[in-house]
Amino acid sequence: MTPQNRDLLVLTKKDMINPDELEHEVQLLVDILYQAERIDAFCIANEVLDLKRYRVIQKPHLIQKIIREKKTKPFIFISNKN
């Protein structure tokens, strides 16, 4: 995994924390965020509504194809399944 430059606010219950412990916690957070921000995780958690053809697209490979299009078509919406 390539390191990313992120602005993270890390709150702890300890008054003082060792810099190595803090770096370890930040690395764990970056790993969790990397897993959650992947395109396939996004496609599993969302669906595409095509109101022109009255259909709901739930297949991840089709959602990726629609998201990656340069120009979006009218009446195409991304909806979260939650």
Predicted structure pTM score: 0.64
- Angstrom CA distances, 28 to 3, 14, 22, 39, 77, stand at 12, 18, 10, 20, 33
The ranges assigned to domains in the chain are 1-37, 45-80
pLDDT score of 4 more than 70: no
Condensed to tens digits (0 to 9), the pLDDT of residues 25-56 reads: 888 998 898 888 899 999 999 999 999 999 99
Q: Please, what is the average pLDDT of the chain?
A: 88
Amino acid at 24: H
What is the arithmetic mean of pLDDT over 46-71? 93
